[in-house]
Amino acid sequence: MSAPKEGPNPLRPYYVPPSVGNNAGTPSSSQPSPSLGVKYGSSPSAKPSSFGSSARNILADMDYSDYLSDPSPSSTATVKALAEKALWKYTSVFLAQPFDVAKTLLQVRMPGSAAPVRPRKFRAVQMKPENQIKRAGFRYSSAESDSDSPTYYTRPKPTGLTPPRRPRPRRRYGSPDRDSSSDEDEPHISARRWSTHILDIKSPSSLTAALSTLWTKEGAWGIFKGTNSTYVYSILLSTITSFARSFFAAIFAVPDPSLSFQISPSAGLVGGLDILSSPTPMASLAIAVSAAGIAGILLAPLDIARTKLMLTPSTHPPRSVMSTLNTLSSWTLPWSIAPVTFLHSTLPTFMSASLPLFLRSKLSVDPVLTPSVYALAIFVGQGLELGAKLPIETVLRRGQIHIAQTGSQAKETQTVVVAGPYKGLVGTMRSIIYEEGERTLKAVPVKADTTSRTTSVARDPERKKGQGPEGLWRGWRVGMWGLLGVWGAAAMGGAGSKGGEF
């Protein structure tokens, strides 16, 4: 039933006739009759393009400028945008590189390994009595002494049975002393430990102490070692991860997790991934984690070369990325560090991508309905992610420098710190906590009752073997400062709101 001209149909009062095409109540003179000839297109008066032309006219009036950017940017604008992004990325890597180098030094360093000082045996010099008295503050004169007094300070004359002592040859300035360089009294120490490039870091947990020691030893080049390799690694990591994620999403017909549809500004701070709007969140999560693991495995040799550049002296060649890669025994991931590498690549992505899903499904915290609680929960989750990542990163760095030292084609790989041993994931953690170095426990004062008063006697601080659990979280302060910087930039409406890294 069609709606009359004077009003809507009483049987369908909520029906509104379509405005596209011919009106329902106005019959068109050009509309063909429902005959057999018209059905097969034999009527010349049929006009089937009237609906398409009307729809085309309506779509032409729509404005998509608010939703789409410039559809055809010029090549100059494209090159300029790429150059600005590359410059911004390199600047951020350059500013963060000193802290990354110091954190890597503290993670790899064996506790108690200071700058070596070769032991020397000092000979006691026999001084004349005149010099001894002068040292005491008196003046000695030979005229004041009595000639009849016995000579207590004169050496006895050698008898005939005592062989004369041969004069000792005079040693030149700068030549080694034979008594002080005796190999019989010194323990055997390898050439690597006696390297002059070993840093004497006073505090094993201080980034500023590591930076100041490295600056004193190697200058400005020392704290910015490996900047180019870190830049290349970050660019390739993001590129390969995005490509693998989009490829798997297209293969399995799943929305790309990198396409965010969240309204909350804090949604961009969860790693740039959005699985809340996906019809299959678990499939999107699996795709994101798999892409991160594949990128970490493919770029493992470059990560090993980057770690080697940061831990070797800045004066030792090679210092370029390709030359360092050529010194490695293989351009594939070694099996000894494969589990640690895969876990280090996938764990942060898994935690950051699954946290919004857990908050909405289990705790009913939504980024639209409760944005403040959601942002606070995301901040706490990123802190937990940092705490879970640092122990695995410590083990990975030790494994990488172990591969660089044992599998290197060079004769010897000298490092600026004595690297700790690598014994697998669990073995290295156990060695750091219970075996490496010594830690001092806090002294507990003990009260002693006496007849007159009550005094407190402090015990000597107890020393225990191993670094303790804090040895697995070296460099957590710089990670927290970087996290606070990103959230501060997001709060002020800067670049941090897009999920960038400091």
d(CA 482, CA 96): 9
pLDDT of residue 443: 56
Q: Tally Cβ neighbours within 10 Å of residue 331.
A: 12
d(CA 113, CA 418): 6
8 Å CB contact between 423 and 405: no
pLDDT of residue 292: 95
8 Å CB contact between 457 and 446: yes
Determine the straight-line distance between the first and last CA of the chain, rounded to whole angstroms.
Answer: 66
SS3 335: helix
Low-confidence ranges of the chain (pLDDT < 70): 1-7, 20-72, 113-195, 260-272, 408-411, 442-461, 493-502
SS3 454: strand
pLDDT of residue 51: 53
Token pair for 28: 């068109």
Phi-psi category of residue 133: left, alpha or beta, with phi > 0 → left and psi -120 to 50 → alpha: alpha
pLDDT of residue 479: 86
Tell the residue number behind the tokens 């398409």, with chain if given. 52
pLDDT of residue 446: 56
8 Å CB contact between 229 and 302: yes
Give the DSSP letter of residue 73: -
Q: How far is CA 123 from CA 126, 128, 133, 180, 212, in A?
A: 9, 16, 21, 9, 36
pLDDT of residue 489: 77
pLDDT of residue 485: 81
Q: Taking the mean position of all CA atoms in its chain, how far away is CA 492?
A: 25
pLDDT of residue 480: 87
What global pTM score does this model have? 0.69
d(CA 77, CA 460): 70
8 Å CB contact between 406 and 444: no
8 Å CB contact between 113 and 195: no
Q: What are phi and psi of 186, to 5 degrees?
A: -100, 140
Q: What are phi and psi of 446, to 5 degrees?
A: -115, 130
Measure the CA angle with vertex 222, ends 220 and 226; round to 5°. 115
Token pair for 283: 């499939």
8 Å CB contact between 214 and 223: yes
Task: Name the burial class of residue 289, with classes exposed (0-12), middle (13-18) and buried (19+) by CB atoms within 10 angstroms of its CB.
Answer: buried
Token pair for 323: 């030359």
Q: What are phi and psi of 207, to 5 degrees?
A: -70, -35
Where b means 16+ CB within 10 Å and e means fewer, 177-194 reads eeeeeeeeeeeeeeebee
8 Å CB contact between 307 and 104: yes
d(CA 327, CA 331): 10
Tell the residue number behind the tokens 């900047």, with chain if given. 227
8 Å CB contact between 471 and 479: no
Nearest to 354, CA basis, from 241, 274, 261: 274
d(CA 224, CA 97): 6
Tell the residue number behind the tokens 């700790």, with chain if given. 420
Token pair for 69: 């950017």
SS3 419: strand
33 residue type, one letter: S
